[in-house]
Amino acid sequence: MEKNEKIPNHVAIIVDGNGRWATEKGMSRSKGHEAGFVNLQKLTAYMYSRGVKYISAYLFSTENFKRSETEVNFIMNLLTGKLKEILEFCHKEKIHAIFSGRKDKLSNKVLVAMNKIEEETSGYKDRCFNICFNYGGRAEIIDATKKIVNDVNAGKIDINSLDETIYENYLYHKLPAVDLMIRTSGEKRISNFLLWQCSYAEFYFVNTYFPDFKAEDFEMALDDYNKRDRRFGGIDYDKKSN
Ligand code: IPE
Ligand code: IPE
Ligand code: MG
Tell me, in angstroms, the distance from the centre of ligand 1 to residue 185's CA.
9
CA-nearest of 90, 32, 75, 11 to 212 is 32
Judge if the beta carbon of residue 211 lies within 6 A of ligand 1.
no
Ligand number with the minimum distance to the CA of 16: 1
Judge if the beta carbon of residue 185 lies within 6 A of ligand 1.
yes
Question: Taking the chain (242 residues) in consecutive chunks of 10 residues, what is each chunk's mean pLDDT?
Answer: 87 98 98 98 98 98 97 95 96 98 92 96 98 98 98 98 98 98 98 98 98 98 97 87 54
CA distance 123 to 121: 5
Tell me, in angstroms, the distance from the centre of ligand 1 to residue 111's CA.
23
Asked if 203 and 230 touch (Cβ cutoff 8 Å), the reply is no
Residue ID of nearest Cα to ligand 2 atom 10 = 191
3-state secondary structure 64-78: HHHCCHHHHHHHHHH
Tell me, in angstroms, the distance from the centre of ligand 2 to residue 114's CA.
23
CA distance 62 to 123: 30
Beta-carbon contacts of 190 under 8 Å, excluding residues fewer than 6 positions away, are 14, 137, 181, 183, 198
Q: What is the pLDDT of residues 92-128, one digit of tens each?
A: 999 999 999 999 989 898 899 999 999 999 999 999 9
**In this structure, which topology does domain 10-135+177-226 adopt according to CATH?**
Undecaprenyl pyrophosphate synthetase (3.40.1180)
